[in-house]
Amino acid sequence: MDGLPEPLPPLAGPRAEDLAPWACHSARSRGRRHPELDAPTRTAFQRDRDRIVHSTAFRRLVYKTQVFLNHEGDLFRTRLTHSLEVAQLGRSLARALRLNEDLVEAIALAHDLGHTPFGHAGQDALNTCMAAHGGFEHNLQSLRVVDALEERYPQYDGLNLCFETREGILKHCSRANAELIEAREPGGVGRRFLDRTQPSLEAQLCNLADEIAYNAHDIDDGVRSGLITLDQLQDVPLVARFTRETLAAFPTLGGRRLLYETIRRMLSAQVYDVMSATAAGLAEWTPSDVDAARQAPPLLRFTDAMRAESTALKRFLFANLYRHPQVVATTVQAQQVVHELFAAYMDAPTQMKGHRPLGAAPARDVADYIAGMTDRFAAREHERLTGRNLIT
Ligand code: MG
């Protein structure tokens, strides 16, 4: 080792004594579907996060719609920036609650990998196309991406992630699909939907961080787009409370900074609310380990008051932003693109350039191909196959 510094001892993530008993400990992971040796300097969950960041599906998130179509503006959230915000909120909460931050980060970065182009419009259209072929669920698709669709390793398809990361990615799943997963993988990630138990607290945390993130950034993007205003949002108690609080502290503040300060205070209040509601639940249940936490009721939660306020905000955003005529108009075109792409590839599967069919069924191969597309690739493919440009 002449001339080289002495190697430092490996720093392998959170020490067991820093984690709560009910947290997921990487050394006690239920493991990977294809057994692998441990990495010398990273825990199993850190390695999962790194595999996700290096995946093709992750890079595509930058050109996938969250709410506003990708080409409508450079500052709106995309699936990528949304996922980063979920990871940031998730990690802060995980650290405070002594949960496994690395696992939370891995789940957060992967949670939207299965989303179609064009946001929920794309997903609804693909689900309709797949109605006679088992349907399309984006959570299940995220799992399919990390289990089968990614092509990175010589020995297996997918990323070969740990059980705990895959458990967190599969946020929802119909009973029929859970039964299919259970048949392939007995006692695996489909099981809890049949047993009606909870996922790990890290997985529960990511669901809440997702909700806190999109409620906040959809307000920001909605106001930026001009489709909703901060004035209008004063009808929503959760927003009005923090606008009032901000104006009490900074009476002359207006415009962008008033909006940001309102959102910032709202985010902090939700994070602290989750911490105190969760701490109370944990004090009551004191699960001895992660399996006991899976058997308990959902322990990562808002207080009832915050849950009601968050629901009211969601209702507002649904009525005034997601269902805004201007958003709906782009939705209709995006759905037409997906429907026509689906029909074109079903007629001529050889048009799916560079696609590796998994061979389950022709329709599922087409759904995998379309789901993997970015907004702009879908628009270009649609134009190539139909000669019409619907997304301008
Ligand atoms: Mg999300």
Distance of CA 207 from the midpoint of ligand 1 (Å): 8
Give tens-digit pLDDT for 310-342: 999 999 999 999 889 988 888 899 999 999 999
Ligand 1 mean position, distance from CA 257 (Å): 26
Cα of 83 to ligand 1 centre, how many Å?
6
Q: Please tell me the distance between residue 112's alpha carbon and the centre of ligand 1 in angstroms.
A: 6
Is residue 5 left, alpha or beta, with left meaning phi > 0 and alpha meaning psi from -120 to 50? Answer: beta
Give the separation between CA 320 and CA 219, rounded to whole angstroms: 11
CB of 115 closer than 8 Å to CB of 64: yes
- The CA 108 to ligand 1 mean position distance, Å, reads 8
pLDDT digits (tens, 9 = 90+) for 245-260: 999 999 999 999 999 9
Residue 359 or residue 155, greater confidence: 155
Global pTM reads: 0.94
| Separation of CA 375 from chain center | 18
Q: Binning pLDDT at 50, 70 and 90, where does residue 4 land?
A: low
The structural architecture, per CATH, of the domain 41-386 is Orthogonal Bundle (1.10)
CB 110 within 8 A of CB 53: no
**Residue extents of the structural domains in the chain:** 41-386
pLDDT, tens digit, for every residue of 83-118?
999 999 999 999 999 999 999 999 999 999 999 999
Q: Is the pLDDT of residue 19 over 90?
A: yes
Share of the chain above pLDDT 70, in %: 96
119 CA from centroid of ligand 1 (Å): 10
pLDDT at residue 301 is higher than 60: yes
Is residue 213 predicted with pLDDT exceeding 90? yes
* pLDDT at residue 326, as a whole number: 87
With CA atoms as reference, report the closest residue to 64 among 125, 109, 111, 113.
113
pLDDT bucket at 8, cuts 50 / 70 / 90: low
pLDDT attached to residue 2 = 53
Ligand 1 centroid – CA 215 distance (Å): 11
* Ligand 1 centroid to residue 243 C-alpha, Å: 26
* Ligand 1 centroid distance, CA of 214 (Å): 7
Which residues are near ligand 1, the ion (C-beta closer than 5 Å)? 112, 210
Mean residue pLDDT of the chain comes to 93
> For the chain, what's the residue count?
392
pLDDT of residue 70: 64
Range 278-300 burial, b when 16+ CB lie within 10 A, else e:
beebbeeeebeebeebbebeebb
Which percentage of the chain shows pLDDT scores above 90?
A: 84
Residue type at 276? S
The burial class, CB within 10 Å (0-12 / 13-18 / 19+), for 51 is buried
| Whether residue 1 has pLDDT greater than 50 | no
pLDDT over 90 (residue 359): no
Residue 338, pLDDT score: 97
Give me 373's structure tokens.
Answer: 């597309």
Q: Is the pLDDT of residue 33 over 80?
A: yes
pLDDT greater at residue 77 or residue 314: 314
Say what the pLDDT of residue 58 is: 97
**What pLDDT was estimated at residue 330?**
85
* 68 compared with 289, residue with greater pLDDT: 289
Query: Are the CB atoms for 303 and 271 separated by under 8 Å?
Result: no
- CA–centroid distance, residue 110 to ligand 1 (Å): 9
Q: What is the pLDDT of residue 230?
A: 97
Least confident segment among 11-15, 58-62, 120-124, 147-151: 11-15
Q: In this predicted model, what pLDDT tens digit does every residue of 144-156 receive, in sequence order?
A: 999 999 999 999 9
Q: How far is the CA of 55 from the centre of ligand 1 (A)?
A: 18
CA of 275 to the centre of ligand 1 (A): 21
